[in-house]
Every structure is written in C-alpha cells, then in structure tokens.
Chain A
Amino acid sequence: MFGTVIIVFREVLEAAIIIGIIAAATRDVPGSRRWLIAGLLAGLVGSAVVASFTDVIGSLASGIGQEIFNAIVLGIAVLMLAWHNIWMASHGAALASSARSVGGDIRDGRRACSVLFLIVGLAVLREGSETVLFLYGIAAAGSGGQSSMLLGGLLGMTLGSAVGYMIYAGLLRVPMRWFFSATSVLVLLLAAGMASQAAHFLIQADLLPSLAAPLWDTSAALPENGLPGILLHSLIGYDARPAGMQIVFYMTALITIVIGMKWANRPRIAIRSTTGAV
C-alpha cells in the first residue's frame, strides 16, 4: 500500500503544483475560478480517454507515439505558460489595482481564462492518465488486497492535492509588492522544466540527439526519487541526470519568456519605475 501512496502522490503532485501556482497567479483575473474547475474536469475526462487508448497511442509512429504525444502536450503547455506570463507582465498590475473595466481588458481576460483552462487541463491529462492506468492495473489484477491499494491511491491523491493547496495558500500570503514577481518566477521555471521534459521524451524517441548524456549526475546528492527531488522536479524541472539537449531547451524557454515579459512590460516602466516582473 505504501508503494501505491508514493506513486499516486508523485503523479498528482506534479499536476497539483501547476494548478496551485496558476490558481494563485490568476486570482485577480475575473472568472478564473470557473475556468480552472472546468479545466480540471476536462483533464480528468481526458486522462481516462488517454489511458484507455494507451496501446493505440503507444504503437503509433513505430512505437514512439507515447513520446511524441507527451512532447506535444508539454510543448503546448510551455507555450500557454509563456503566454500567461507575458500577458501577466503587462496586465497583472492593472488587474490587481482593479482597473479592469475597460472593454479590451475583459476580452483579454477571457483569453487569459481559456489559456488557464488549457494549462490546467493538460497538466491533469498528462499526470492523470498514468494514475488511471496504474489504478486500473490494480483493480484488474484481481489478486486480493485491492481495497488497501485503492485506499493508498486515495491517500496519495489527498497528499498530493494538499501540497498543491499549500503552495496556493502560501502564495496568497505573499505581500502584494512581491506577489507578481513570485508567481511569475514560479510559472517561468515550470515552463522551462516542461521544455526540458519535452526534450527528454524526444531524446528517448531518438528524434533529438542527447548532446551529452548525462551532462552531470547529482543523483547521489539529491536523488530524484526522494521527496526534495520530487518537489524540485515538479517545481523547477530538476533532473539528476539531464542530457545536454534538455539544458538547451530549458535555457531557451527561460530566456525567450524573460525577453517576452520585459518586452510586454516596457511601456509601464516608462510611466513609473518599479522593477520588471522578474
């Protein structure tokens, strides 16, 4: 049962961390809560569908369909997170000071909400489908002891959600002055970590060269299967043995989004000199 708790915890945690950060970051966007819940539900339905088509997806493209699927889902998520951060860099301050009644802003807010829907939906879809498969395996095995395993799954889910909620609640306590910096740095690192993961899948499918594999090995000091490693993996994309190409993707995403945010924030700097969003 303990093993079940850990596996489900890890899968749920990744999605919960993303949702926690995004929920905090969009707290002032009108209608964001409804879209967030809609994304969550769509993601859950989607993960059941993906789980039931695992064999079909897996056998596509000569057996590397799963990697391509994961890389596409991660790629879309990176684009959405990037868009979100760049949008927040130019609209965040206005939203917080509740100067949001301009027509254009409402239309923009709706676009922000559909991005939110996609980010949450994709996060749940990716992590949820593995959880569904795992729990299905237990249920289908029919070897007894399922109830304790399913209880373990439930416990893992609760623990993972609790961590996500703690991150959300913690972020809401961050003073307004630092709030946008804090959430946008977190979203930035989430996006970079996902870009690195996407590269990881493409290397596994032999669609990208690894460059150097591994570039370094910190598995002895900070193992990926320990709790700090798991948390850092979800938060900043920590990888104990990354390939060189993953670092290339990580840095490219990071730098591109920072440049986009600086660019989006440019007019505001001219009016009043507060430091940029990062």
Chain B
Amino acid sequence: MKNILLVALLFPLAAFAADADYTLVISDHRFQPSELIVPSGKKIKLLIVNQDATPEEFESHALNREKVIAGNSKATLYIGPLASGRYPFFGEFHEATATGVIIAR
C-alpha cells in the first residue's frame, strides 16, 4: 500500500520536473546557480531541488515568495511576471551560505 502511494506521488513529480522553466539546486546549503537569468514580463515556473538531507526555506522579499523544501525533495513555485531588475533570494534556514539572485532582463 505504501509503495503504491509512493509511486502515485512520483508520477506528478516526474511530470512537473519535465515542464519547469527554470531549476535551482540546493546542495551543501548553497544555491546552484547562484545567479539565474530569466526573461522579464513573463510568468516563470521555478523548480527547486533540495539535495541536502535537511529542509530549506526558499525566501525572497523582492519576489514576495517563501516556500519550505524538505530534505532530498523538490518543489515548484511560480514567480513573475517580473519587471527588469535584480531579485535577491536566500535560504532562510542557512542564510550565511544560501544566497542568490534572479536577474530579469
């Protein structure tokens, strides 16, 4: 029963991994890439993959977004449409190392 549930959960995971517009990877409490260039004026689907064992919270005041990503898992969120500019973000649980910026052009 538990396996069926897991498989059922993996299907949408695989599906949304494929059509994400942009991906950020968290490993060793850092974002990869730390600079992400996206087109301005367009809604963007962002996939965040947390490869660390510990949870992280993606947060950006400039983007007005926050989302917890459990350890070793993925999550999607939508941002924009953005005006041209720099939008810093950080991992709230590891603010010392997990920082980055989304640049909209």
Say if the beta carbon of B4 comes within 8 Å of chain A. no
Q: Give chain B's interface residue range (CB within 8 Å of chain A).
A: 35 or more
**Minimum CB–CB distance for B46 against chain A, Å:** 10
A interface footprint on B28-45 (CB within 8 Å = 1, 0 otherwise): 000000000000000101
Q: Could you say which residues of chain A place their CB within 8 Å of the CB of B53?
A: 140
Q: Does B77 contact A204, Cβ atoms closer than 8 Å?
A: yes
Can you list 12 A-B contacts (CB < 8 A)? A59-B73, A59-B74, A60-B12, A63-B75, A64-B77, A133-B55, A133-B57, A140-B53, A204-B65, A204-B77, A223-B61, A239-B64
Chain B stretch 70-87: residues in CB contact (< 8 A) with chain A: 70-78, 80-81
A62-B12, A137-B93, A223-B61 are known contacts. Are A205 and B77 too (CB-CB below 8 A)? yes
A interface footprint on B47-78 (CB within 8 Å = 1, 0 otherwise): 10000011111000110110111111111111
Q: Could you say which residues of chain B place their CB within 8 Å of the CB of A241?
A: 61-62, 64
Say if the beta carbon of A116 comes within 8 Å of chain B. no
- The number of residue pairs between A and B whose CB atoms lie closer than 8 Å in the complex comes to 95
Q: Could you say which residues of chain A place their CB within 8 Å of the CB of B67?
A: 66-67, 204
- The residue on B at minimum CB distance from A239 is B64
Q: Does B70 contact A54, Cβ atoms closer than 8 Å?
A: yes
19 further A-B pairs in the complex, CB-CB below 8 A; given A206-B45, A213-B64, A239-B64: A54-B70, A58-B69, A58-B70, A59-B9, A59-B13, A61-B12, A62-B15, A63-B12, A63-B13, A63-B75, A63-B76, A130-B57, A130-B68, A133-B57, A137-B71, A200-B64, A219-B61, A219-B62, A241-B64
Say if the beta carbon of A141 comes within 8 Å of chain B. yes
Q: Could you say which residues of chain A place their CB within 8 Å of the CB of B73?
A: 55, 58-59
Q: Does B70 contact A55, Cβ atoms closer than 8 Å?
A: yes
Q: Could you say which residues of chain B place their CB within 8 Å of the CB of A133?
A: 55, 57, 68, 70, 93
A141 to B29, CA, bound (A): 11
Q: Could you say which residues of chain A place their CB within 8 Å of the CB of B74?
A: 58-59, 63
**Minimum CB–CB distance for B29 against chain A, Å:** 9
Say if the beta carbon of A136 comes within 8 Å of chain B. yes
Q: Does B93 contact A134, Cβ atoms closer than 8 Å?
A: yes
